[in-house]
Each structure stands twice: as C-alpha cells, then as structure tokens.
Amino acid sequence: MLSDHRLHAIDPGTTQSALVTVSVDGTVTATTDSNTTILAAVWSLADAPDAGELVIEQIASYGMAVGADVFETVFWSGRFAEAWMRRSGTEAHRLPRLAVKMALCHDSRAKDANIRQALIDRFGGPACIRKGGSLYKVHADEWAALAVAVTFHDQHVVGCVDQHEQHECGVRR
C-alpha cells in the first residue's frame, strides 16, 4: 500500500485515541489507548529513522455548536501534532472526516459502517477481518484512523484524488 515509508494515523478523542500504522509492506497495526499513552507512542514513532508521515483526523464543526468534548479533542490533536513536529522535524498532516467519506464512499452522507465496509473490501473482503487477516484486530475508532491513513495515502502518496475502482458504499443517493 505504501511507496517507501510508514504512515501513522490518529482518530483523536477526549480521553483516548486510536492510532494505526500502515507499514511499507502493507501490515496494519492498530491500538486504542489513553491520550497520554498515544502521545508517548507518537514521540517514539517520530524518533525512528524511518518515521514516515503522521496524519490526524481534523475536527470540523460545520456550523454546529460544539461543547467541551470537542475542545478537549482539539487540544489533544494539537498535542499529537506538536509532539510529531518536535521529534521528527516534519509537520503532521490533518484530514477532515468529510474528505475521508468522499474519498472512500463518494458520498458525504456515508456512515461509519459504510466506511468500514469500503476498507474491508479494499483490504481483501471478509477474509481480512477473520483471524490471521490483515485487519483482524481492528475495531471501533481504529477503523476511523485506518480510513484517514488510506485516504491520505491515496491523495498524497499515490496521487489519486478519486478511487472509482473501489467499493461504492451503498449510501442511497
């Protein structure tokens, strides 16, 4: 899936976040942990000689009122980005959820289940989520982090903005 470097993606949350790493050979590792643990992991990953890239799901309100949870999530997103920059010397990238929906499902109304299905289809169908499959232990918010990684990969590493050959998410138009 990747050309010559690792790609790390974070789906940030108020108290815990999901971190996914896609290696050069396409191996996917995923974890969900406290934000302080994920922050320590970001420091460690950024320190590696082959650190790669970090992309974080960007928070967007789309004009709706937001509460304390959103501001806390934004705070942690900033901490992850700053840690990456200080340690790796490169900027962390941000990608809004709408861009992920459009890239993977071609519909702004796509739901988490649609995105998950698009990822399963992309990584080899139902076999990829069974024991021994490449996405066997991916769960909950880790799917969102993986979706961010795949979208960033397609748009910035491969250079494709629209993947027509991929799964249509089945969202009613």
Domain-wise residue ranges, the chain: 7-158
Is pLDDT at 25 greater than 90 in this prediction?
Answer: no
pTM for this model (two decimals): 0.89
Is pLDDT at 118 greater than 70 in this prediction?
Answer: yes
Residue 171 and residue 164: Cα distance in Å, rounded? 15
- Which pLDDT score, from 0 to 100, does residue 151 have? 96
Assign a CATH topology to domain 7-158: Nucleotidyltransferase; domain 5 (3.30.420)
Residue 38 and residue 68: Cα distance in Å, rounded? 21
Kindly compute the dihedral angle of the four CA atoms of residues 71, 81, 140, 170, in this order, to the nearest 10 degrees.
90
Percent of the chain whose pLDDT exceeds 90: 78
The first and second tokens of residue 145, run together, are: 């982090």
- Which pLDDT score, from 0 to 100, does residue 63 have? 83
- Which pLDDT score, from 0 to 100, does residue 166 have? 42
Q: Point out the least confidently predicted range of 4-18, 139-153, 157-171.
A: 157-171
